[in-house]
């Protein structure tokens, strides 16, 4: 379908989808990089946390699992109470998978 053939509502929906894809690009790239590194670590018989020197004890800081789409300094480990930015992002149409790091 050509852009000229689309209705105003279809164009606005397309723009929203493109903006969301742009905003979540870095998060998707980081998620892919993490998956590749975890696979390589597993091939070597280690966890990524072990190679990175991160402790899995209860007092250790957990690695963030989710990142704010507009402000990458806001993260969440996926444990405990959901932060307001995470809830707001879901309510505004983001899927959980697009917020993953």
pLDDT digits (tens, 9 = 90+) for 26-72: 888 888 999 999 999 999 998 888 887 765 555 556 789 999 988 88
User: Is 93 in contact with 21 (CB distance < 8 Å)?
Assistant: no
Percent of the chain with pLDDT over 70: 92
How many Å separate Cα 65 from the centre of its chain?
7
CA dihedral for 9, 14, 19, 20, sign (positive or negative): positive
Q: What is the pLDDT of residue 22?
A: 84
Structural domain count of the chain: 1
- pLDDT beyond 90 at 10: yes
Domain that includes residue 49, residue range: 3-99
């Amino acid at each position: 379908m050509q852009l000229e053939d689309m209705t105003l509502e279809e164009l606005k929906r397309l723009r929203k989808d493109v903006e969301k894809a742009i905003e979540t690009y870095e998060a998707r790239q980081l998620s892919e990089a993490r998956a590749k590194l975890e696979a390589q670590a597993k091939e070597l018989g280690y966890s990524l946390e072990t190679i990175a020197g991160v402790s899995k004890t209860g007092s250790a800081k957990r690695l963030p699992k989710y990142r704010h789409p507009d402000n990458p300094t806001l993260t969440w480990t996926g444990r405990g109470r959901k932060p307001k930015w995470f809830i707001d992002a879901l309510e505004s149409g983001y899927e959980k998978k697009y917020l993953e790091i």
